[in-house]
Amino acid sequence: MLEPATRKGMHRMKPTDTAAGGRRMVDGWPVADEPLPADPMLRLAYYARLAPSSHNSQPWKFLVGQGEIDLLVDETRWLRVADHDRRELFVSLGCALESMRIAADYAGFGSRVEYFPVAGSDTLVARLQIEFAGPKREFAAASLLEHAVTRRTSHKPFDPALAVGEDARKSLYACYDEAGVSLHFLAEDRRAMQWLAELEREADRALFADPAYREELAAWIGEGLLGTPWLISKIAQFAVGHLPVAERVAQDDADRVSSAPLVAVLSTRNDDPEDRVRAGAAYMRIALMAESRGLRVQPVSQALEVEATRTGVARLFDLRERCVQHLFRIGHAEAERGPHRRRPLKDLVIRETGPAIGTGNG
């Protein structure tokens, strides 16, 4: 089991200090790009906003009460063409949910989740109930929170000569406990990796043949949320929307896949929204555990956005009756630098009761 942090240990540092590895600390908490809220409930949302999401869409809102947080879909951030069945949307929401629970573990709080508490609605994804006096959940992961502020999705080529060792693989297998979610690694066979790269190439070609997909992707790139500076984002937006770039994109994506020493997939028994949220929660833990081991992770999205190639991925991993939820590559690369490109907390939080959203340091 992952070691929880104690309340006593959390407050040994000065209000602002630096931990090992260069992380900034405030009130014993690792901090990112915004001031850390004093309100303990807002702190949970603060870390949820650092979670990975499909194309960095950040499709979440948080209704924050005195002892619970409702996790809501922000429909304006749903990529309706690329993610027509909302699989990636719910996987992203699962990442945010698990981020909040890890922050609750760090605070020494207990937490319980009710999935889709309103019958017939998938807008309210989960209700997170916080028990300030505990008991903490059985499989707490407080030690992973420090990596939430340094984790970045990697877009760099991985070094194929550096394998992901057996100890690291075991740590990824053991770091989560989500009902019905399984982790599978692709066999270390370069032919299988090349097959997967070809599936990614095929998916890119199919997606770029759809004008609606190109328009949606171009608009998203233009917002700059994929990590590029404003001018480069605008140039890329024009290129995706108006130039014949499909083959170049397909080749680049295929090269990234083929360079990876390890590729993994998360599967579930069924394919309903809760299964997808649970898969996202598992991925959040895996991504943070990988960061703690000096490994880089990047989702391989396009191969699952086209039904034919998604079926090909399931066949390649020999999943049989199980449902593919999330595909990602793992390996060694230089860390991504720069700030998290995240929406401000004030734009994400709705307060049910109590004072206005604070941004002061605790």
Instruction: Output the CA–CA distances (angstroms, integers) from residue 73 to 42, 220, 257, in the order listed.
Output: 18, 18, 30
- How far is the first Cα of the chain from the last one, in angstroms, to the nearest whole number? 29
Between residues 54 and 239, which one has the greater pLDDT? Answer: 54
Split at pLDDT 50, 70, 90, the class of 219 is: confident
Q: Please report the pLDDT score of residue 328 as a whole number.
A: 97
Q: Please report the pLDDT score of residue 362 as a whole number.
A: 37
Between residues 275 and 221, which one has the greater pLDDT? Answer: 275
- pLDDT (mean) for 303-324: 96
Whether the full predicted model's pTM is greater than 0.85, yes or no, is: yes
CA distance 143 to 339: 22
Single-letter amino acid code for the residue at 354:
G
By C-alpha distance, which of 233, 229, 286, 220 is closest to 51?
286
Whether 17 shows a pLDDT value over 90: the answer reads: no
Q: What is the pLDDT of residues 115-132, one digit of tens each?
A: 999 999 999 999 999 999
Domain ranges, ordered by start, for the chain: 7-149+342-351, 166-331
Q: What is the pLDDT of residues 129-155, one digit of tens each?
A: 999 998 999 999 999 999 999 999 998
Domains 7-149+342-351 and 166-331 share a fold: yes
What is the CA 263 to chain-centroid distance, rounded?
16
Helix, strand, coil in percent for the chain, rounding step 5 = 40, 15, 40
Split at pLDDT 50, 70, 90, the class of 242 is: very low
> What is the per-residue DSSP string for 22-66?
S-EEETTEE--SSPPPSSHHHHHHHHHTTS--GGG---EEEEE-S
- pLDDT (mean) for 257-283: 96
What is the CATH number assigned to the segment(s) 166-331?
A: 3.40.109.10
- pLDDT (mean) for 281-289: 98
Q: Please report the pLDDT score of residue 22 as a whole number.
A: 57
Whether 103 shows a pLDDT value over 80: the answer reads: yes
Q: What is the pLDDT of residues 326-339, one digit of tens each?
A: 999 999 999 887 77
- Any alpha helices (H) in 159-210, and if so which ranges? 166-174, 190-208
Which helix or strand (DSSP H or E) is residue 258 part of?
A: helix 246-259
Helix H, strand E, coil C: the string for 298-328 is EECCHHHHCHHHHHHHHHHCCCCCCEEEEEE
Between residues 10 and 190, which one has the greater pLDDT? Answer: 190
Mean pLDDT across the chain, nearest whole number? 86
Q: Please report the pLDDT score of residue 4 as a whole number.
A: 38
Whether 240 shows a pLDDT value over 80: the answer reads: no
Q: Confirm if 299 and 260 have CB atoms less than 8 A apart.
A: no
Q: What is the pLDDT of residues 40-72, one digit of tens each?
A: 999 999 999 999 999 899 999 999 999 999 999
CATH 3.20.190.10 assigned to domain 7-149+342-351? The reply is no
Whether 356 shows a pLDDT value over 50: the answer reads: no
CA distance 274 to 279: 9
